[in-house]
A = this chain, B = another copy of it.
Amino acid sequence: MDYGFLTDMVGLELRKAQSQTEKKFDQLFNGDLLPGHYTVLVLIKNNPGSTQSSIAQYAGLDRSSLVPLLKQFEKRGFITRKKATNDARSNITIITPAGEDFIQRHRATIEELEHNIKKAFGPKNYSQLVKFLKQLQDHP
C-alpha cells in the first residue's frame, strides 16, 4: 500500500504510532479505562487541591466533558469532591485509597508497556524520542 505524498510525514506516522500504542493499552486495560481517563485519575492523585477546570485543562478536555467522568470515578469510589474553601464556585478533587489502589493496580501494566518500548529503542534513543515528542507539543 502506497501512502503517496503522505509517506514519511510526521503527521501520518504520528497518528499511526499513537493508534497502535493506544490499541495495545486498551487491550491490556480490557476496556476498563481509556488512557486519557487514567491520566485524569493520576492528575488528581498527584495534584491535591486542584479544581475541576485545571484538571480538565491539563487532560486536554473541556470542563463539561470532565463532569460525567468524575461522576463515574465517584461512583467507583476512586475520588471525592468538596467545595473549595477560598472560592465557593470551585470543587476540589480528592483521590481516595480505592483510587490510589486502582492506579497502583494498573501501574505495573503501564510500566511494562513502557519498558518494552525502552528496550526496543535503547535508553539513548528512548530519551531522544521522549524529547522529540515533547518538542512536538511546543509549537510546530
State the oligomeric state as a number of copies. Answer: 2
Asked whether, in the complex, the Cβ of B130 is within 8 Å of the Cβ of A43, the reply is no
Question: Residues 86-128 of chain A: 1 if any B CB is under 8 Å from the residue's CB, otherwise 0?
Answer: 0000000000000000000001001101101101110001101
Min distance, Cβ A127 to any Cβ of chain B, angstroms: 8
Chain B CB within 8 A of A77 CB: no
Total residues of chain A contacting the partner, CB 8 A: 58
**Chain A window 5-48, contacts with chain B (Cβ cutoff 8 Å), 1 for yes, 0 for no:** 11011111111111111100100000000011001001101110
Find chain B residues with CB under 8 A from A129 CB: 10, 132, 136
Given A2-B43, A9-B114; 8 other pairs, CB 8 A cutoff: A6-B110, A10-B117, A13-B137, A14-B133, A15-B35, A19-B60, A117-B136, A132-B132
8 A-B interface contacts by CB (under 8 A) = A9-B114, A10-B114, A11-B110, A12-B35, A14-B14, A14-B133, A16-B133, A18-B18
